[in-house]
Amino acid sequence: MGADRREARQTSLRERLVAQGLDALLIQSLPNIRYLTGFTGSSALLLVRAHDTVLVSDFRYAVQAPKEVGSVARVEIDQVNVWERLRRVLAERAAGTVGFEAHIATVRERERLEGLAGATRFEPTSDLVERLRVAKDPAEVAAITAAAELAQEALASVLPGVQAGETELEIAARLEAALRCRGSEWHPFQTIVAAGSRAALPHARTSGRTIVPGDWLLLDFGAQVDGYCADLTRTVVVGARADDRQRAVYEIVRQAQRRGLEGLRAGMTGREADALAREVIARQGYGEAFGHSLGHGLGLEVHEAPRLSTTAEAPLPAGAVVTVEPGIYLPGWGGVRLEDDVHLGADGPALLSDNRVELLELV
């Protein structure tokens, strides 16, 4: 992963805490904890204070946590209750005002914080770490690129064997196996394989539907390398040559994606970015058939900031990695979506995936 940026990230966070009038931040988001410490387990609380960082976890991670975290945080392992251990850590010194991640805290967790309060004042915060995570450093970009390359290789190994008579689930199983065999740590989201009219469902759940000749086959899938996600979508025709309508709709989506990829720039608003592709689709009369946003940020989570949508007025930050994924969805007929991953560098957008989006007919 290159140079270790964890301490620099914590320093940047502390600067933000001072600006917010906070003495510390309690972090529960596991992606945020990984970003700041390297810890990859499924249970932890992280307390970032002015002069130290403390990771609290449980017995399952007694060996793993110190190894992953190293010197960037003190590790406290509790055999029974991580919240009770957090109470003891807070009692070590006057805590003052401690922020907590209100955007993810459950009602039960807020009740626990109330029970811990004592001399500590807990203040709700939102996205303090997430805003740091938006701009990716070179090592993060490299990890996302590696995940995209892995995903592309997996797809290339599976597509030649796809044929009519198979089910969506059978194809998804082969694709997911190919991803894992090539080193994907996990699937960033449930793989979508949708055939025929089900390709009109933007977030279809892969089913037992059997593919028939001439079907659309939409594949939305990802890979994960060093915790970082890639997210790709390809749409192909199976068992026959595409008909005129299929070719026409596919070409509109391809042109919309091309305009989005070529026109995207850091500094434009998410709404302006979305409009690049949306205008192409709307001009052809399919504006109502493109109902989702153009894209989203990628990183330790498959959906993170920034947003490329009709309601996103914030500028796209330099260094962000985003998806560009226009689509047209026609109920009862099918749908087309094409998705690639892009880094918004200072010199313009750089593709991290292969953008191989010529219409593929598997006959």
Residue 27 sits in a domain whose CATH number is 3.40.350.10
Let me know whether 156 and 219 are in one domain.
Answer: yes
Within a domain: residue 27? yes
46 part of a folded domain: yes
CB–CB of 117/14 below 8 Å? no
| H/E stretch holding 258 | helix 244-263
> For residues 123 and 110, what is the distance between their CA atoms, to the nearest angstrom?
11
Q: Looking at the domain assignment, is residue 1 inside a domain? A: no
Report yes or no on 142 lying in a domain: yes
CB atoms within 10 A of CB 133: 21
- Here the CATH number for the domain that contains residue 335 is 3.90.230.10
- 116 and 156 co-located in one domain: no
342 pLDDT exceeds 90?
yes
Which of residues 79, 112, 133 is at a domain's end? 133
Indicate the DSSP class of residue 121. Answer: E
Residues counted in the chain: 363
Question: Quick one: 172 and 52 in the same domain?
Answer: no
| Domain identity same for 103 and 164 | no
H or E stretch at 56: strand 53-58
DSSP assignment, residue 140? H
DSSP secondary structure code for residue 342 in this structure? E
For 17-36, the pLDDT digits (tens) are 999 999 999 999 999 999 99
Whether 111 and 194 map to the same domain: the answer is no
Distance CA(346)–CA(258), nearest Å, equals: 20
Task: Return d(Cα 149, Cα 155) in angstroms, integer.
Answer: 10
- 120, 144 Cβ separation under 8 angstroms: no
Question: Within this chain, do residues 126 and 156 fall inside the same structural domain, yes or no?
Answer: no
Please tell me what DSSP assigns to residue 345.
E
Residue-wise pLDDT for 226-277, tens only, equals: 999 999 999 999 999 999 999 999 999 999 999 999 999 999 999 999 999 9
Checking if the pLDDT of 346 tops 60, the result is yes
Residue 53 domain flag: yes
On whether both 43 and 167 belong to a single domain, the answer is no
Residues 6+ apart with CB under 8 A from 203: 192
42 pLDDT band, cuts 50/70/90, is very high
Q: Are residues 209 and 309 in the same domain?
A: yes
Which region among 79-83, 117-121, 238-242, 330-334 has the lowest average model confidence (pLDDT)? 117-121
- Summarize pLDDT for 189-216 with one digit per residue, the tens: 999 999 999 999 999 999 999 999 999 9
Of the candidates 56, 46, 48, which has an alpha carbon nearest to the alpha carbon of residue 22? 48
Task: Point out the domain boundary residue: 81, 106, 133.
Answer: 133
SS3 (DSSP) at 24: strand
**Domain termination residue (choose one: 116, 133, 150):** 133
Whether residue 96 is found in the same domain as residue 207:
no
pLDDT higher than 70, residue 349: yes
Residue 246 lies in a domain: yes
Quote the CA–CA distance of 281 and 326 in Å, as a whole number.
9
**In-domain check, residue 123:** yes
196 and 119 share a domain?
no
Instruction: Please tell me the chain's helix, strand, coil percentages from 3-state DSSP, rounded to the nearest 5.
Output: 35, 25, 35
Q: Confidence band (pLDDT; 50, 70, 90) for 119? A: confident
Total number of domains constituting the chain = 2
**Same domain, residue pair 347 and 244:** yes
* Model pLDDT for residues 46-100, shown as the tens digit of each residue: 999 999 999 999 999 999 999 999 999 999 999 889 999 999 999 888 778 999 9
Q: Does position 115 have pLDDT exceeding 90, yes or no?
A: no
- Residue 175 in domain: yes
One domain for residues 226 and 354:
yes
Give the structural domain span for 349.
Answer: 138-362
- HSE toward the beta carbon, residue 219, CA cutoff 13 A: 28
CA angle (90, 96, 99) in 5-degree steps: 80
